[in-house]
Amino acid sequence: MTNEQVLVKTLDFQLDIQSDNEGLLYDASLEARRVYNETIRLAKQGVDWDDIPDRVADDADLVKNTTQRVVAKALGAMENYYEYDDFGLPSHTKDGAYPLRANYEEGYNLSLTDDGDVSFRISAKPYKHVKGVLEGDDAHLDVLKTALESDEWKIGTAEALFHNDNAELHVNVTNTEQTVRDKQDSRTVVGVDVNEDNVALTALSKGGVEDTLVIDFPEIKFERHRYFTMRKRVQNAGKQSMHDTLEGREERFVRDRLHKVSRHIVEWSRQFEKPCIVFEDLKEMRDSIDYGTRMNRRLHHLPFRFLQFYTSYKASFGGIPTGWIDPYKTSQRCPLCGHAERANRNKKRFKCRSCGHQDHSDRGASVNIAVKGIEKHQDWNVPALNSLPQVRKVRRQASGAVDAPTVTHDAVRGYQTDGIVGVSD
């Protein structure tokens, strides 16, 4: 039996408040905290929970819908916690500002502007509104704009809150027609190895390796270095405004390329039966990087997180689940015999010192990621891997088309490259 999950996403945005009402939003957050703690106090006193919302609302300086949502959150917490501090109060009463919770079109509203932005209006207090424009990740803005224009999407509750003294809005959206299959119901696992200048993909099923692909995007590395050089020059010349302009151009260029590559990954994965896309969990990688100033700068700017996120949300739109695995030794382990040693890998060349297997190093890593994905997320066994198909490489152009591949490392023996027709964007 196939388990499916309704596609629900929480989108995070920063609030660019156009008026002097940020103080109003903060005051409302403090009032929300008071409402929350008052609900806890009344529940502790034994007041009937059905009577608490009306009693709290009588004194609350918040719109009715927000008060109801905050009270419901507090009562939900009371159901889950039973420990109390020395003063007889629940240990989960709140300090500081507390998020304003509201239903769409009751406590807050969103709309598209003529400039293509998303404007907001939050009912912070009765007859007092906070207005402005949402800012944030392009991917989250894309999802929200789609939700505002499509009947397939339903915009739900949101929370206005302060994070590190910055005002934010977290919006829940649900796709009413699209579902995401449970990871455990997959028949194919696609391992994705993200690198500085390419992404390697391997599709692994019960029958073995279905296909493998390496997508090159060297222009990201090249353009980042070029923009870095230009920014250093204008910074040394004292032209900070030009520095910020160049930084914005670089960011837009990189994100545009990553959107195209992530779309290619999802479209390639669609061809297989019930695919699940698996990534390495690289959250802690940057903390351990220390290879000198120049190399640290390059590695800290690798597009791991953005490419993984763009691929994940595009995959979910197509009903494809995603998973995460521990990256330990995925780039050093031989996909055929399992021998793991740092000396096995030399740039793009992999040669196992145990069995002699030679491969494109990034392709080998993607096989290992797929294997770990099966071991973690599936109830079927990893198939025996006695041989691997030829490595196929493609390179994306700025237009989104795919070039015929070129061999970038002639020293690599034991694999070949050939071309495929890419997905146009």
DSSP per residue over 251-319, as a string?
A: HHHHHHHHHHHHHHHHHHHHTSSSEEEEEE--TTGGGG--S-HHHHHHHHT--HHHHHHHHHHHHHHTT
Would the pLDDT of 67 be above 80?
yes
Place 412 in a pLDDT band, splitting at 50, 70 and 90: very low
Look up residue 165 and give its DSSP letter. T
Task: Summarize the confidence of residues 415-419 as an average pLDDT.
Answer: 35
* pLDDT on residue 337: 94
Asked whether 111 and 118 are in contact (CB, 8 A), the reply is: yes
Q: Quick one: pLDDT band at residue 140, thresholds 50, 70, 90?
A: confident
Confidence at residue 247, expressed as pLDDT on a 0 to 100 scale: 67
Decide: pTM greater than 0.75.
no
Q: How far is CA 238 from CA 71, 232, 248, 249, in A?
A: 53, 10, 18, 19
Name the residue with higher pLDDT: 188 or 195.
188
Lowest mean pLDDT, pick from 25-29, 331-335, 410-414: 410-414
- Measured distance CA(29)–CA(100) in Å, rounded: 6
Mean pLDDT across 278-298 = 61
Count of CB atoms within 10 A of residue 57's CB? Answer: 14
d(CA 225, CA 243): 14
Mean pLDDT along residues 22-45: 90
Mean pLDDT over 206-230 rounds to 86
**Which residues fall within 8 angstroms of residue 8, CB to CB, at 6 or more apart?**
172, 173, 174, 175
Chain-wide mean pLDDT for the chain?
A: 81
Q: Report pLDDT for 244.
A: 64
pLDDT of 11 strictly over 70: yes
Question: Secondary structure of the chain in the HEC alphabet?
Answer: CCCEEEEEEEEEEEEEECCCCHHHHHHHHHHHHHHHHHHHHHHHCCCCCCCHHHHHHHHCCCCHHHHHHHHHHHHHHHHHCCCECCCCCECCCCCCCCCEEECECCCEEEEECCCCCEEEEEEEECCEEEEEEEECCHHHHHHHHHHHHCCCEEEEEEEEEEECCEEEEEEEEEEEEEEEECHHHCCEEEEEEECCCEEEEEEEECCEEEEEEEEECHHHHHHHHHHHHHHHHHHHCCCHHHHHHHHHHHHHHHHHHHHHHHHHHHHHHHCCCCEEEEEECCCCHHHHCCCCHHHHHHHHCCCHHHHHHHHHHHHHHCCCCEEEECCCCCCCECCCCCCECHHHEECCEEECCCCCCEEEHHHHHHHHHHHHHHHHHCCCCCCCCCCCCCCCEEEECCCCCEECCCCCCCCCCCCCCCCCCCCCC
The rounded percent of the chain whose pLDDT value lies above 90 is 44
Bigger pLDDT: 339 vs 396: 339
Total H helices, total E strands in the chain: 9, 17
> In this predicted structure, what is the pLDDT of residue 222?
76
Residues 6+ apart with CB under 8 A from 58: none
pLDDT-wise least confident of 101-115, 212-226, 314-328: 212-226
pLDDT of residue 81: 58
Residue 345 reports pLDDT greater than 50: yes
Give the separation between CA 366 and CA 192, rounded to whole angstroms.
5
- For residue 204, the cross-strand partners are 189, 209
